[in-house]
Amino acid sequence: MDQLGLENRLADLPLGEIRYFDAIGSTNDYAAAWAQEGAPDCSLVIADEQTAGRGRGARQWFTPPGSALAFSLILRPEIPEGGGQIMRITGLGALGVSRALRGSYQLPAEIKWPNDVLIDGLKVAGVLAEASWTGDQLSMVVLGIGINVAPDAVPPDDWDGHHERPFPATSVESVLGTPVDRLVLLQVVLTELLRWLPRLSEPKFIQAWREKLVFLGDWVQVITSEAEMFEGQIINLNGDGSLRVRLRSGELKSLQVGEIHLRLVDSSPK
């Protein structure tokens, strides 16, 4: 992977500028600083290796050289006020990856709301959307995506961040059983992202996202950012991208933030 190869492979896509690094701390951090300097919309930051990659909740993200895709897109989206801007951008990232893996590699990729992509219950990719605001107006979002392409991208058991991983990981090549060209996969993912980006406010976007949700209809344990813990049945995705769950009491609750643990719990009558 190099600058020229990226530019040639992605020449037909409506991107801004492309900046490639052999190694970088975090593509999201670099993209955020570049955006403040005036980077064009849909500019791309990509690195062969991340030394300080991160996911949601300050979790570390393992990105050794030559084995993964780690990139960030600078987006300046036009989303109606109150339209769940960050949630939709997060959904865009997960949807783009899942559709690329399904459409081009025939892999059963699913989305664990709001930001993970799973294959057979194992994490293969993660999304981190970070916003910049001007008053109440969303001025810019950095959409960071990490995809485990080769087996070496899966953190070893003795890795420093291993204890922070909430569930097991896998790689595209491990599931597929054959080598994967990272540039081809990147092109396919970016094509899906750019195809859906203008449609974030459309019901079809929410529907496409909903169709890829894992555990739809199942009971899961939920932990919110306020450390509240409860069990809920995933029943729908709201129009703003928040998740609708039914509590054991029958009450309906919309989740805006927090994490859904993958450990299923016993079902109870609906």
The model's confidence at residue 267, banded by pLDDT at 50, 70 and 90, is low
Q: What percent of the chain has pLDDT over 90?
A: 70
pLDDT surpassing 90 at residue 157: no
Q: Is 129 left (phi over 0), alpha (psi -120 to 50) or beta?
A: beta
In the chain, CATH 2.30.30.100 covers 219-264
Question: What whole-number distance in Å separates Cα of residue 242 and Cα of residue 244?
Answer: 7
pLDDT surpassing 60 at residue 26: yes
Question: What whole-number distance in Å separates Cα of residue 139 and Cα of residue 212?
Answer: 29
Hey, what are 110's tokens?
């699913």
Question: What whole-number distance in Å separates Cα of residue 220 and Cα of residue 222?
Answer: 6
- The confidence score (pLDDT) of residue 159 equals 56
pLDDT in tens, 187-196: 999 999 999 9
Residue 130 vs residue 57, higher pLDDT: 130
pLDDT surpassing 50 at residue 270: no
The model's confidence at residue 256, banded by pLDDT at 50, 70 and 90, is confident
CATH topology of domain 3-211: BirA Bifunctional Protein; domain 2 (3.30.930)
* CA distances (Å), origin 123, targets 8, 120, 143, 175, 261: 30, 9, 18, 11, 12
Average pLDDT, the chain: 88
Please check whether the domain covering 219-264 is classified as CATH 2.30.30.100.
yes
Question: What whole-number distance in Å separates Cα of residue 259 and Cα of residue 241?
Answer: 14
Question: What whole-number distance in Å separates Cα of residue 47 and Cα of residue 203?
Answer: 34
